[in-house]
Structure 1
């Protein structure tokens, strides 16, 4: 993802900056998806694997990136408290 874009993107709710999610963070999210336990902030079940994502620098919310486009809608965020095995950033 373009560094200039990352420099201006932030969580639409908290205004916290975001960074690319690490491989281990994506793996933790995908394990929860596989178990059928992951939901968006809006309450929708997440059923598709996440290949690329942004995460707030405080590690609280994940936003999917689909076809290179960040999905930064508040209701599409994924709270990381659902991920008991999320590695420390």
Structure 2
């Protein structure tokens, strides 16, 4: 992801800055997705694993990146509280 773009992006609900997910964070989320335990903010299940993602500064909200495009829709956000042992 372009660094300049990342520098100006923020969470659409909390306005917190966003950072790229680390490999450990992505792996933890993908394991929870594979186990069927992740729901988006709108209540729909997240069924596809994340190739990339963005996370808020407080490490609570994740937005996926699809084909290099950040999906910053509040209804599609993932709450990391759903992931047991999420790296903090």
SS at 1:62 equivalent: strand
Within a 5 Å distance, the mapping from 1:6-85 to structure 2 comes to: 6-85=6-85
Taking structure 2 as the reference length, what is the TM-score of the superposition? 0.97
Output the aligned Cα RMSD: 0.6
Q: How far off is 1:85 after superposition? A: 1.3
Q: How far, CA to CA, are the matches of 2:42 and 2:16 in structure 1? A: 19
Q: How far, CA to CA, are the matches of 2:85 and 2:73 in structure 1? A: 25
Provide runs of 4+ in structure 1 moved above 3 Å. Answer: none
Q: How far off is 1:57 after superposition? A: 1.3
Ranges in structure 2 where 5+ consecutive residues have no aligned partner: none
Q: How far, CA to CA, are the matches of 2:43 and 2:56 in structure 1? A: 19
Ranges in structure 1 where 5+ consecutive residues have no aligned partner: none
